[in-house]
Amino acid sequence: PLRPRAAPPELQEKTLVLVKPDAVQRRLVGHVIQRFERRGFKLVAMKLLQVALPTQLPPPPLRVPCSRCHAECWEGGAKGGHPLGVPTVTLRCHQADRGLLDKHYQQLQQKPFYPALLAYMTSGPLVAMVWEGYNVVRSTRAMVGDTNSATAAAGTIRGDFSMHVSRNVVHASDSVETAQREIGFWFQRDELVAWESGDRDYTYGP
């Protein structure tokens, strides 16, 4: 059917995956996406964004309050209204600041490698995605592999695409609770798309 029935709750588990800046630079985004698609998971949100340290932020040429982050957005029209009459509520901010990473990596802030981790994660654009499906959090962690790429098993994303713990290609949430929190850091509620895939009975059985 063109509009399949809604998925039961156990098929609606969600996780956050980040394709980190090294992987974007190395043109690995498609390879990472392909693995989760091929497994059978469903993509429900995705965006490319640059997380910047405050000193790296360019001076905003035009100052319009972003309706998403309520900070100033670097896009759009002059203050008081878009020149083409587009309402400012349609503007989205594609920049984020390090506060996002401080929240995301809250547990790691005291680690000696944290400044290097921040520099890495702000070194270029990254791709944030939300994947959905049965047991997606645990399955995704297994597909991503060991934190340390040097010991990650062959067949895992890190084991196949990376060499060193400091450039380990992807992030995936480590529990259902963490996933819910992390998705909230990276996405607005209305950026998640609720859709049903027509092949569900072939992926999960009846």
**Sequence ranges of the binding site for ATP:** 20, 113, 141, 147, 158, 168
Query: Which one, 56 or 106, has the nearer CB to ligand IDP?
Result: 106
Token duo for residue 152: 């990650």
Min dist CB 166 to ligand IDP, Å, is: 4
Min dist CB 186 to ligand IDP, Å, is: 15
**Contact present, 36 and 19 (Cβ < 8 Å):** no
Min dist CB 55 to ligand IDP, Å, is: 22
**Contact present, 131 and 46 (Cβ < 8 Å):** no
Q: Is 171 among the residues known to form the active site? A: yes
d(CA 143, CA 27): 19
H/E stretch holding 129 reads strand 126-132
Annotated binding-site members: 20, 113, 141, 147, 158, 168
DSSP state, 11?
G
Site residues (CB under 6 A) for ligand IDP? 108, 113, 117, 147, 165-166, 168, 171, 174
**Rg of the chain taking only CA atoms, in angstroms:** 19
Pairing status of strand 126-132 against strand 14-19 = antiparallel
Query: Which one, 17 or 66, has the nearer CB to ligand IDP?
Result: 17
> Of 89, 44, 45, 48, which is closest to residue 69 (Cα–Cα)?
89
> What is the SS3 assignment for 66?
coil
Residue type, position 46, single letter: M
Min dist CB 115 to ligand IDP, Å, is: 10
Query: How many angstroms separate the Cα of 10 from the Cα of each of 16, 21, 41, 141, 184?
Result: 17, 32, 13, 18, 20
Select the residue whose beta carbon is closest to ligand IDP and give its number.
147
Residues tagged active-site:
171
